[in-house]
Amino acid sequence: MTNPVRAFAPASVSNIACGFDILGFALQAENGQTGPGDVVTASYGEFPGGPESGGPVRIARITGDGGRLPLEPGRNTAAVAARALIEGEAPGATVDLQIEKRMPLESGLGSSAASAVAAVVAVDALLDLAVPEQALLGYALAGEVLASGGAHADNLAPSLLGGLVLVRSLDPEPDVIELPVPAGLACALVRPHAEVNTRESRARLERQLPLDRAVTQWGNAAALVSALYRSDLELLSRALVDVVAEPVRAQGVPGFHAAKAAAIEAGALGCSLSGSGPALFALCDGRDRGTEVAAAMADTIEAAAGVACDRLVSPLPAPGARVIAGEA
C-alpha cells in the first residue's frame, strides 16, 4: 500500500446557464495540463479515532487558503467527506489529511467540491477501498452540504468524473449521466478578484419560481443536452440561457452584463455565471476563440468595474479527479 496518497480534484463550472443544480463540467489548463483544483494528501492516522477524539479524520495542514479554512474536522469540507467515506466503508480507520488549495475560494468554481472530491479519492486509494464512483459521490456530498447548505452535485460530479455531466437526481442516490462534448469546444473563464459566499448566494435565490419561467428553463436544459449529442453549436448557443439564477446573482457581480455582451460580441456561443459567481464562463468554438473571449470579458470587467481578473481557457472535456505522484 502507498502511504501517503495524494489526489487532485479539478475546479468546475456548475449550472452551465440553464442547468441550475444539475449540469457542470470540469476545468483544466489551456495546454491540457492540470488546472485549478485541490490536492489532498491522505496518510494513516495515528490516533484513536473515536467520538471523543473528534472522529476518524484530522486535518494536519492547509496551504493556499490564506489561513481561512477551518482545521476543525467537523467544519472542514474535506474532513466531513472523508469521515463519511470512512464511517461507511472502513469503520475504525483513521486518517490525516493535508489540503493544498490550488484554486481561489468562493469564486463559483467549485472549491468546496474539489476539496471533498480530492479527499474521498485520496482516502479511497489510501485504504484500498475501490468504492464505486457513484457511492464515492454520495460521500463527497456530505462535505458539499456542509459548505453550501444544499445537497447538489453539479460541481462534485464533474470534479470526480471529469467531462460534462448531468446529475438527474440525488434521491435515493446520485444518478449521474456523462454527456458528450462537441469536438473543439472550449471554456473561456474569467475570475474577478471578488468573492461570493455560496451559502448566502443560494439563500438569495427565489424559493418559488413562476411556472412559465420554469418551463423556459427546462426547455433550455433539454435543448442543451440535445445540442451536445448532436454537436449542434447553434442550438447550444440558443439553449445557453439562465432565467433562474443569473438574473439574481448577476446583481452581485460588477460589470457582468457588459462582460457578457463583450463575450457574445467576441463570438462566444453563450456566457453566464460559473456557479454562484463571481467567475464568468463562456463556451466557445475552439481555443483561439476562447482566448479572444476571455480577454474581452476580463478587459471589460477591469474597465467597467475596476476589478482585476484572472483568465483561463480550458479545452473540454477535462479529466476528473485522480491520484497523483509526488511527496506530500
Q: Please identify which residue in 4, 7, 11, 19 interacts with a second copy, judged by CB under 8 A.
A: 19
Q: Which residue has the cell 457574445?
A: 264
Q: Which residue has the cell 447548505?
A: 149
In this structure, are residues 101 and 63 in contact, taking their beta carbons and an 8 Å threshold? yes
**220 touches a second copy by CB under 8 A:** yes
**63 touches a second copy by CB under 8 A:** no
**169 touches a second copy by CB under 8 A:** yes
CA 61, 4, 44, 160 dihedral sign is positive
Beta bridge partners of 176: 167
In this structure, are residues 122 and 42 in contact, taking their beta carbons and an 8 Å threshold? yes
Q: Compute the distance between CA of residue 311 and CA of residue 323 in angstroms, rounded to an integer.
A: 26
Q: Please identify which residue in 52, 183, 208, 326 interacts with a second copy, judged by CB under 8 A.
A: 208
Beta-strand pair 5-10/37-44: antiparallel
Cβ proximity to a second copy: between 15 and 76 the closer is: 15
Q: Compute the distance between CA of residue 123 and CA of residue 82 in angstroms, rounded to an integer.
A: 7
**175 touches a second copy by CB under 8 A:** yes
Only segment of 4-12, 139-147, 222-230, 314-322 that touches a second copy (CB under 8 A): 222-230
Nearest-approach distance from CB 205 to a second copy, in angstroms: 6
Q: What's 287's DSSP letter?
A: H
Cβ proximity to a second copy: between 102 and 238 the closer is: 238
**50 touches a second copy by CB under 8 A:** no
**229 touches a second copy by CB under 8 A:** yes
**200 touches a second copy by CB under 8 A:** no
Tallying the residues shown for the chain, one arrives at 328
Q: Please identify which residue in 179, 233, 264, 304 interacts with a second copy, judged by CB under 8 A.
A: 179
Only segment of 100-108, 132-140, 219-227, 305-313 that touches a second copy (CB under 8 A): 219-227
Instruction: Using alpha carbons only, give the angle 41, 320, 115 rounded to the nearest 5 degrees.
Output: 40
Nearest-approach distance from CB 160 to a second copy, in angstroms: 18
**177 touches a second copy by CB under 8 A:** yes
**243 touches a second copy by CB under 8 A:** no
Q: Please identify which residue in 219, 251, 265, 288 interacts with a second copy, judged by CB under 8 A.
A: 219
Only segment of 44-52, 69-77, 101-109, 166-174 that touches a second copy (CB under 8 A): 166-174
Q: Compute the distance between CA of residue 87 and CA of residue 23 in angstroms, rounded to an integer.
A: 29
Q: Compute the distance between CA of residue 184 and CA of residue 286 in angstroms, rounded to an integer.
A: 5
The cell for 276 is: 454562484
The cell for 40 is: 489532498
**Residue ranges binding a second copy (CB under 8 A):** 18-23, 166-169, 175, 177, 179, 205-211, 214-226, 229, 235, 238-239, 244
